[in-house]
Amino acid sequence: MRGEGGAEAEGAMASGPDSFVARVNGRALHPPGASPDGDTLRQRAGVELLRQAAQRAGLLSVDDPAVDDGVPSEAAVLAIEALLERELRVPEPSEEACRRLHAQHPERYGSGERVHARHVLFAVTPGVDVAALLAHAEPLLLQLRSRRPGPEADEAFAAAARSYSNCPSGERGGDLGWLRREDCAPEFASEIFGHPGIGVLPQLVRSRFGLHVVEVLERDPGPVPGFDEVRDAVEAALRRQSWVTALRQYVQVLAGEAVLQGVDLDAADSPLVQ
């Protein structure tokens, strides 16, 4: 990626170190004087790279405003989704790969009689601007989906729940405990029990309570079915893994073509998008 030196870096620090602003192609990632941590800067840089790519592709108006708080406009969120749909190349999983994953983790593909889940709830109440909620919820979903599984991803979800969730479970990092279908609103149950496997669900869950970013942590499957019974679920899990890899690679390509100041996207394990 193009570097941080020369006149561009001088411009970013024109008023001294306290006024340094990290930028992507000249677009600020935070207000002057603010000091976001490295993960936050990388997430915001990923969003801005995708937003600018959507503009270049004609999917987003050139008048769409750049933001320095990490929350893109609703139009930008939709344009980024369209861009990723067009640009990401996700290969179809092979029969061999599917059988191998099922053999390694057969417990993931049971009937899902109980689910251990957590969520971030953006509550929809009378008078709430749903479009504004979507502009916060969709980027958060993309951020949490794109993280590699592990302790950092676990803490990122818990931190998001503590910061944003309108549910009392936010104090517990969004943890809802073990749920059965009858414990949930029907529309919520149909989503968390209808998506086999574990991980952050690929879309926001819409319920009578609002918009949910949901992660399935564990399943109590009961009897474990054979491969032929869960072939579709295994394929979906592999597609999700491929999608995350393709997204990270695409953002790295965009970063390599951009002028970045004050943010480093070279670390392969860093979250790149929000």
Residues in the chain, total? 274
SS3 112: coil
Query: 270 pLDDT exceeds 50?
Result: no
- Whole-angstrom Cα distance, residue 10 to residue 235? 50
The per-residue pLDDT of the chain, averaged, comes to 84
Answer yes or no: is pLDDT of 196 > 80.
no
Q: 91-114: buried (b, 16+ CB within 10 Å) or exposed (e) per residue?
A: eebeeebbeebbeeebebbbbbeb
Q: The tokens of 222 are what? A: 């009961």
In the chain, the percentage of residues whose pLDDT exceeds 70 is 86
Model confidence at 146, pLDDT cuts 50, 70, 90, reads confident
> Per-residue pLDDT averaged across 10-36, rounded?
72
DSSP state of 27: E
Identify which has the larger pLDDT, 1 or 89.
Answer: 89
Q: Hey, CA dihedral for 204, 209, 214, 219, is it positive or negative?
A: negative
For tokens 């009378």, the residue is 126
- What pLDDT, on the 0 to 100 scale, is given for residue 7? 35
pLDDT at 10 over 60: no
CB neighbour list of residue 81: distance below 8 Å, 6 or more residues apart? 138
Partners of residue 28 on adjacent β-strands:
23
User: Which domains does the chain show, CATH number per domain?
Assistant: 1-103+227-274 (no CATH), 112-220 (3.10.50.40)
Distance between CA atoms of residues 161 and 137, nearest Å: 11
Give me the pLDDT at residue 19, please.
60
pLDDT at 194 over 80: no
**Is the pLDDT at 41 greater than 50, yes or no?**
yes
